[in-house]
A = this chain, B = another copy of it.
């Protein structure tokens, strides 16, 4: 039986990926040198197509890392001398905070229960804060922070760097990149690729901060410091041998998405999210975890299954629908359903049909 993965990443591969892998094998993409003109073209194409798809300002940089988690570490190393501020509404926001702490910084956080929202207007951020970190979409709890709230905070603190985790939201999330300094993501979520590549979208202001810290002899890391990443990005190379095949595949998928149209992709995701939330809102035993409309993630939908005595994950798997477990302590009391561009409207209708039988 053909499976379909609704896991929140790694997830269902984007429908064109297998074709692109085949082509990549024919074209020896796994063998080409990362110092070749052919590789430089791949990196350049990737930068250009991403900037186009997401409307990223021309002077922003696209840096290559291994994962979203690595991005968190590199951001605090390169943009924070002492104090970062973290809006913590789930496990990944918490991870960013812990990484700042483990990296020798003194992070500050404001925390809300995962199903509740921040009252941004009432939160005063101290003057000494160098970077404010948001997790726009919390993969662990299925909550989202509306982008307008993020850009409003950015506007209120114009001197402070703004970092946004968009791992499980991009390219759905319509973020105004010029209003933030760093946004980061990995490819195994909405881009529908195998895991192994993380990217950072970085403003000139953020690279300047890193250079300033370097001048002050603050440890900003070595081969993946922003100045090193910048130096290599400018010649469309990387210091280390990067995941060339992943970069090639991402460039191809971004181009496919560009052809489909970013508006169509966003509309389709909202349509699928509505189908599922509307259905769940009418149920008694399997219900949406996030009650508040504006906080509901469109891309990762978390479902409370405590009131049913059935093994939901297993029953769905028997029909070929692979959904995610709840995160952490909610492993058995919740399921998580990804709503990514790789999932068709019909896939969602089929899934809902199965959910009805539970």
Binding site for B on A (CB under 8 A): 3, 5, 7, 9-13, 17-18, 21, 25, 28-35, 65-70, 72-73, 98-99, 102-104, 186, 188, 193-197, 219, 221-225, 239-246, 322, 324-325
Contact = CB atoms under 8 A, between A and B. Distances in A.
A166 to B, nearest CB: 15
A69 B240 contact: yes
Contact of A31 (B11, B102, B103): B11
A240 B21 contact: no
- What's the dominant secondary structure at chain A's contact region? loop
A35 B11 CA distance: 12
Contact of A241 (B72, B186, B246, B322): B186
A69 B224 CA distance: 10
29 contacts: A10-B34, A10-B241, A11-B31, A17-B30, A18-B25, A30-B193, A30-B194, A33-B324, A33-B325, A34-B195, A66-B70, A66-B196, A66-B240, A67-B241, A67-B242, A68-B240, A68-B241, A70-B223, A70-B224, A70-B240, A73-B221, A73-B223, A98-B222, A99-B222, A102-B221, A195-B241, A196-B196, A196-B197, A196-B245
B243 A103 contact: no
B12 A31 contact: yes
Given A66-B67, A102-B221, A103-B221, 4 more contacts: A31-B322, A70-B224, A195-B245, A196-B197
List of 10 A-B pairs having minimum Cβ-Cβ separation, nearest first: A196-B243, A66-B66, A30-B194, A69-B240, A102-B222, A67-B240, A5-B31, A194-B245, A99-B222, A195-B241
A55 to B, nearest CB: 27
A31 B18 CA distance: 12
Contacts of A243: 66, 194-196, 243, 246
B28 A5 contact: yes
A188 B222 contact: no
Nearest to A3: B28
Interface centre among A69, A186, A188, A222, by most B CB within 10 Å?
A222
B18 A69 contact: no
Contacts of A241: 9-10, 67-69, 186, 188, 195
Nearest to A342: B31
Contact of A69 (B10, B21, B239, B324): B239
A66 B35 CA distance: 18
A73 B188 CA distance: 25
A324 B241 CA distance: 15
Given A244-B10, A244-B195, A219 B30 contact: no
Q: Which of A12, A68, A104 has the most CB of B within 10 A?
A: A104
